Amino acid sequence: MEFIQIVIYASIYLGLVATVFYVLSYNADKKRNKPFFKDSELPFVTVIIPAYNEENSIAKTIESIKNADYPKNKYEVFVVDDGSKDNTFKIAKKYQSKLVKVFHKENGGKASALNYGIKKSKGEFVFSMDADTFADPKSMKLMIRYFKNPKVMAVTPAMLIHRPKSILQRIQHVEFLLGLFLRKTFAALNAVYITPGAFSVYRKTFFDKYGGYDEDNITEDLELSIRIQSEGYQVENCPEAPVYTIAPSKFKELLIQRRRWYFGLIKNLIKYKQVISMKYGDLGTFVIPISLISMFFAVFITAYLFFKTILNVQKELLFYKSIDFGFSGIFNLNLHVIERTAFLFLTNPTVLFILFFVAILGFYISYASKKVGGFKGLFFDLPLFFLFFAILFGFWWIVSLFYLIFVGKISWR
């Protein structure tokens, strides 16, 4: 058996195992009785909004958290302007009140702005909220209730895309819905290793004991979540708490974001390599290893199928040329190339398994959509995701690995 066939069948096998494992884990978690705070037990919390050049969204972000369905005498909001060069501070200052406090500091990065707010906070729990994120009114209360369990150090929301319009935003829309299901499954396994910086909440005593955000880390939220896991604590997920973030709409912006995410993921897994072990249960023995292997297989198989199909079409065209067969115009030539490419790709046996996984992803996304009240546009967005995400995913990883190996570092922007 060829090496490539071994890789393909191994990836299919692991994909099936992971799919069954995640579904069973999710169903088992639904039967668990978890302790939750009652409304009368809600603690005092602090919401910190670090902002740098966010004049177009800061007002709506502040408004969304002011409208939270949470007792106004039990939370405070800190807007920390991190040396913005636009009107962010001026706009935020208009919301200064007993509830909302606005601070200005020299530019030092998102992590430094969050640490600045944590030092001034009075809350037992601290929300990190991006300045281009809008929280559903019920999300704060639903997320906080999980801290009734003293082992829980962080809770993540249901991250969604705010009003997706461009093709890239629609692809991300489906990706985030898929992530909603997976994050809840990972929480069932105590294996959440990413707490989105857009709107996650942490127990403040963790910062007091283990320090604040790592200001030298390119993905400070990811580093914090792995640090929490490395210390033996739990990270929960609340799929009923939607939070909407403005996604990159242009290819370059999205590439820069994903390059930072993936570069930071590898760097932090190297830093906390000890979590990839049996000592850390499902996180170290299954979830992280399978995630890394799946990334490799996704890039490898996508590239293999793409280039094999192109080479086969090229061989056919060379054969036609050798027998003096010609096409009546460039249009017919292009149409033939498209038809043959689609035929050769879709008749590859591996594609049957890919279609099976597509169906599974459809189930995941359907679940996620219903969990947060449904979404319009999925009929159009799903095909875009299935057609382009694997190619984009592979490209993002290739670029990230290039920077990791040959450059060694990247900046926020």
Higher per-residue pLDDT: 381 or 201 = 201
Tokens of 99: 């509830």
The label of the residue with tokens 């459809």 reads: 362
Choose the weakest-confidence range: 215-229, 240-254, 276-290, 361-375. 361-375
Lowest mean pLDDT among 49-53, 117-121, 213-217, 395-399: 395-399
Over residues 132-146, the mean pLDDT reads: 97
Q: Do residues 255 and 165 make contact, with C-beta atoms less than 8 angstroms apart?
A: no
Under DSSP, the state recorded for 272 is T
Measure Cα distances from 155 to 102, 272, 331 in Å.
25, 21, 55
Q: Which of 79-88, 149-158, 196-205, 283-292 has the lowest mean pLDDT?
A: 283-292
Q: What is the pLDDT of residues 146-184, one digit of tens each?
A: 999 999 999 999 999 999 999 999 999 988 988 887 888
Among 140, 110, 146, CA closest to 235: 146
DSSP state of 192: -
Q: Alpha helix locations (H) across 201-248? A: 204-210, 220-230
CB contact at 8 A, 74 and 189: no
More confident residue, 27 or 56: 56
Say whether pLDDT at 209 is over 90.
Answer: yes
% pLDDT > 90, the chain? 56
Among candidate residues 181, 230, 195, the one with its CA nearest the CA of residue 25: 181
389 or 39, which is more confident? 39
Q: Which of 101, 11, 97, 109 is nearest to 48 (CA)?
A: 101
Per-residue pLDDT, 401: 87
* pLDDT range class, residue 310, cuts 50, 70, 90: confident
Q: pLDDT for 80-90, tens place per residue?
A: 999 999 999 99
pLDDT of residue 182: 82
pTM: 0.85
100: pLDDT strictly greater than 80: yes
Long-range contacts, stretch 337-345, CB < 8 angstroms, 24+ apart: 337/313, 340/312, 340/313, 340/316, 341/309, 341/310, 341/313, 344/309, 344/312, 344/313, 345/305, 345/309
Closest CA to 133 of 255, 47, 204: 47
- 47's CB contacts (< 8 A; 6+ apart) are 65, 75, 76, 77, 78, 126, 127, 129, 140
Q: CATH classification of 34-275 is 3.40.50.300, yes or no?
A: no
Picking from 72, 60, 61, 133, the residue whose alpha carbon sits closest to that of residue 99 is: 72
Alpha-carbon distance 79 to 91, whole Å? Answer: 11
Averaged pLDDT for residues 113-133: 98
Residue-by-residue DSSP string for 37-56 = --GGGPPPEEEEEEESS-TT
Structural element, H or E, at residue 238:
strand 234-245
154 phi, psi to nearest 5 deg: -155, 150
Q: How confident is the model at residue 383 (pLDDT cuts 50, 70, 90)?
A: confident
Q: Where does the pLDDT of residue 323 fall: very low under 50, low under 70, confident under 90, or very high at 90 and above?
A: low
Q: Which of 3-7, 125-129, 313-317 has the lowest mean pLDDT?
A: 3-7
CB 114 within 8 A of CB 200: no
DSSP run (H or E) holding 344 = helix 330-346
In the prediction, which pLDDT does 150 show? 95
Question: Is residue 283 a contact partner of residue 193, using CB atoms and an 8 Å limit?
Answer: yes
Residue 337: partners with Cβ closer than 8 Å, 6 or more residues away = 313, 317
Q: What is the pLDDT of residue 59?
A: 98
229 with 193: CB under 8 angstroms?
yes
Let me know if 406 is exposed, middle or buried by CB neighbors in 10 A (0-12, 13-18, 19+).
Answer: exposed
Full strand arrangement of the beta sheet holding 100-105: 100-105, 75-82, 45-51, 125-129, 199-203, 152-161, 234-245, 133-135
| Domain residue limits, the chain | 3-22+284-407, 34-275
Q: Which residue is associated with the tokens 């639904």?
A: 30
Q: Kindly compute the dihedral angle of the four CA atoms of residues 117, 118, 124, 129, in this order, to the nearest 10 degrees.
A: 60
- What rounded mean pLDDT belongs to the chain? 85
pLDDT in tens, 333-342: 567 666 766 6
Neighbours of 345 (CB within 10 A): 18
C-alpha distances in angstroms, 102 versus 23, 60, 73, 184, 329? Answer: 44, 15, 18, 34, 66
Segment 391-411 mean pLDDT: 86
Max avg pLDDT among 66-80, 293-307, 313-327 = 66-80
